[in-house]
Amino acid sequence: MKQPLSRLVAVALVLSVALAVACNRGVSERATKLRAVQVSEYKGEKLGSIDDFRENSIKGPQAVDEASYRLEISGEVTTPRTYTYQQVLGHPKYSKVVVLNCVEGWSVKLLWEGVLIKDLLAEAGVKPGAVTVIFHAYDGYTTSLPLAYVLDRNIMLAYKMNGVVLPPERGFPFQVVAEDKLGYKWAKWVTKIELSDDPAYKGYWESRGYDNDAGL
């Protein structure tokens, strides 16, 4: 039996709409993937790749849930603070090309984007006796940096590398960009920033014999 012309037109219209939706979804997915492509050059400076790393974390890559994540600012501060991931990102953003040098002998130059740690500390209020900034990671790792170094050098807490949000294996949600310090000072998966009055505090590797200064 022949279908009425109006019904055939209606079916064709439904099929065309479905096809358009499917095509648009495909374009959207491809666009998302394109936005995640890392940059390889910045202001004429050639960059390394976010894949140019060796896996050397103490418990392997960590999977941190963004929705439940909290960053604590505690210790020698007047007002301890707790931030969600998005609240941290709400602070002024900075970017800088910095080379990460590993104690194992390899290095990688990347474009880092993040917030200044001193902006977070300013909101918590630094007590006069504070001299050391201790970073605690999701996997239990700890390391520290002198407070004066963190403030004077505008040290960042990064959430992007080469224009890409930190992958889980690279420290999502945040990694310390400890420029001019060896890689074990570049804490990944940071969950707490603690101010201390102990200038001799030693973190995970430092307490196992690594130099506490870690200068290049």
pLDDT of residue 95: 96
Nearest to residue 176, comparing CAs of 60, 69, 98, 64?
98
| pLDDT, the chain, mean | 87
pLDDT of residue 4: 54
Average pLDDT of the segment spanning 35-41: 76
Amino acid identity of residue 159, one-letter, is Y
175 HSE (CA, 13 A, CB side): 28
Query: Would you place residue 214 in the very low, low, confident or very high pLDDT band (cuts 50, 70, 90)?
Result: very high
pTM to 2 decimals?
Answer: 0.81
| Per-residue pLDDT tens over the stretch 80-129 | 999 999 999 999 999 999 999 999 999 999 999 999 999 999 999 999 99
Q: How far apart, in Å, are the Cα atoms of 186 and each of 73, 100, 126, 157, 170?
A: 18, 8, 22, 10, 11
